[in-house]
Structure 1
Amino acid sequence: MSAVAAVFVHLALAVALFFLMGWIGRHTAGMGYISLSLFVTRDEAPAFNFAFRAFGPIAFIVIVAAALYGVGADWLVGGIWFVAVYYSAFRVGYNLAMGRRLLLNWPREALILAVTVGGAWLLYDKVIRVRQYLLPDAQSVSTELWIIVALFIYATLNRIEVSEAGSRRRKEAYLAHAFRTLRSQYQSVVEPLVPNAFVESVVYSIMVYESFQRPPAFQALERVAFPRFSKSLGPMQVQTESMISNTESVRLGTEKIVAAYERAVTERAEPNFDPVHDDYRRGSVVYNIAEDYNPDHSYMEAISALNHRVIERFYPSLAERNRAAGSYANGLSGILSYV
């Protein structure tokens, strides 16, 4: 078989590995797996997260190589360590295409890439490329001993607490960049439609979150796929039956948010109800607006947490009024635990 065909197979394996790692990660949250997000989360299992990302691809290559040897496709095992190279390049390219450059811990990413690629090449050169070396030697008792030692070190390192300062800096930098970029592009659309600064903060919170989930590159693909494979368009991911511009997406999304806000205020017959200046009641209104936009509990939690950060960072007058009223600490204790 040609080397070109082998390269295509290795590329396909790299793409499959990328999606497999994402799927496994989502199903190992109970073990401490942390995915990239807008929110600061304590890394309770740093050793697991590093080992999973660095050594997961290597384990995949070993298993695939053994399977290929088993079906007689030895020609595909040659150079199979390049799967780690393609996977690493695809992973970095994906995050850049998603506009997550500011969120990534680049020194850590470089270390993971070096361990993944270097480990894959070393294992291929010393073990995988020689068919009879791939299975463990039954007489090498020292191998099992070193595995036990490695597990002990792993368990010990996993108890080390890692500072959140770097993660917080990256997420704050991303939020500032995303907010200012979107506001500079769509302020002329949003400002005439919103009744107050609070509603404006919710609009940008939803816009930032939706644009994080569907960055410009993906929004462009959605336009190509519309209407057969895509029903939502633009920075606000508005559900639509016809093609609309980004500006129209923002206008429709803002109108939807304003309508949900007005319903939330009207439905509350409480005396002195003031969601703009009352932090505790404001939080419930954000939930109502988010639920109207996307009735998913995790979405509502995310928008509420993000809106808190947006107000703190970009609407200081609202935040100051809340502190002066004494409602800041009590009203957002639940949201702060989520950030």
Structure 2
Amino acid sequence: MGRLLLLNWYKQILYWIAIISLSYVLYINIIQHKKNILPDLSTLSNELWVVILVFMYQVMNNLDFSSTKAAERREKYISKNFKILKKKYGSLIHNLTNNEMLDTVVYAILIYEDFNRPRIVRWIEYFTFFLTTKSKTLGIMQFKTDRYIGDKESVLLGTQKILDKYQSLKQSPDWTYYENDYQVARDIIQDYNGGESYSSEVMNLMYTIQSQSYPNLVDELLT
């Protein structure tokens, strides 16, 4: 799924140890010998270990790990994926946009769509597309189409759609009402895939990409 960097491995290992240990003990003491699952009241004091193990698992399941670590994993995930995507599609994207601010909008959408539609899910989408041949969002940038497109073409078409929306905004009478670049970016993102939640999450990704990889950003959208 491409999400290894987002996992809290310390918590996952605790889960594995607890689940495997409890499963093993239950198998050895109950399932293997086909004992009655209900405890024998005469030996109840000797079977309190079951209650203790369940309690320990519940405690670990409710552990509240630091949100700082989660934020660090998120930033590392974004940074790594940005570098991979820029290496693959950087020249294609920038040759179309010729604007680094607009590039960050494209990368934010790319990372968001890739997260929600990882490679294995996109394979399933291709499979269903070939079966039904109905119009469908395909490729890493989830561009809606009625014909087969690969990841690279989806980036090309998706970036062109973003650029077309940006240019149409500049030519519209409402252009004078925009106060900053982020209002422009928000409307471009909403046009790509409607919804307040979508635009908010992609905007947050865009801010992170800018702070990580474009600290000296000079290009503007509102020009």
> What interval of TM-score do these two structures reach, taking the shorter chain for normalisation?
0.7 to 0.9
The reply to whether residue 306 of structure 1 matches residue 205 of structure 2 is: yes
Q: Deviations over 1:278-326 (max 9, x none)?
A: xxxx1x333322222222333222111111111111111239x9xxxxx
Unaligned runs of 5+ residues in structure 2 are none
Q: Quick check: 2:178–2:184 contact (8 Å CA) kept in 1?
A: no
Which amino acid in structure 1 is aligned with residue 91 of structure 2? S
Aligned residue identity for 1:191: H
Within the candidate set 100, 122, 128, 1:197 is matched to 100
Residue of structure 2 equivalent to 1:289: 188
Contact 2:109 2:202 in 1 (8 A): yes
Q: Give the alignment partner of residue 127 of structure 2, picking from 202, 207, 224.
A: 224
Residue 205 of structure 1 contacts residue 306 of structure 1 at CA under 8 Å; is this kept in 2? Answer: yes
Q: Aligned equivalents of 1:185 and 1:152: distance in 2?
A: 47
CA positional deviation for 1:178: 0.6
Q: Which of 23, 26, 29 is the matching residue for 1:120?
A: 23
Which stretch has the larger CA shift, 160-169 or 174-183?
160-169
TM-score (norm 2): 0.78
CA distance in 1, matches of 2:202, 2:58: 36
Question: d(CA) in 1 for partners of 2:60 and 2:32?
Answer: 33
Q: Mean Cα displacement is larger for which, 204-213 or 189-198? A: 189-198
User: How many residues are paired up?
Assistant: 215
Q: Is 1:236 aligned to residue 126 of structure 2?
A: no
**Structure 2 equivalent of residue 330 of structure 1:** none
Q: Which fold has the larger relative contact order, with Cα–Cα distance below 8 Å and residues 6 or more apart in sequence?
A: 2
CA distance in 2, matches of 1:179, 1:114: 34
* Match 1:250 to one of 116, 138, 155: 155
Structure 1 residue 132, shift from structure 2 partner = 4.3
Report the AA paired with residue 30 of structure 2: V
Q: Which residue of 1 aligns with 2:174?
A: 268
**Conservation of the 8 A alpha-carbon contact between 1:191 and 1:200:** yes
Match of 1:181 in 2: 84
Aligned-partner SS, 2:194: coil
2:139–2:154 Cα contact (<8 Å) kept: yes
Equivalent residues of 1:232, 1:239 under 8 A apart? yes
Change (3 A) 1:246 1:131: same
CA RMSD of aligned residues (A): 3.4
Alpha-carbon contact 1:233-1:249 (below 8 Å) kept: yes
Match of 1:35 in 2: none
Where in structure 1 are there 5+ consecutive unaligned residues?
1-97, 276-281, 322-339
Change (3 A) 1:185 1:156: closer
Report if aligned partners of 1:235, 1:250 keep a CA contact under 8 Å in 2. Answer: yes
Letter in 1 for 2:199: M
CA deviation digits over 1:52-105, x for unaligned, max 9? xxxxxxxxxxxxxxxxxxxxxxxxxxxxxxxxxxxxxxxxxxxxxx11122222
Residue 170 of structure 2 corresponds to residue 170 of structure 1: no
Mapped partners of 1:152, 1:210: distance in 2? 38
Change (3 A) 1:128 1:274: same
Length-normalised TM-score, structure 1: 0.54
Secondary structure of 1:228's match? helix
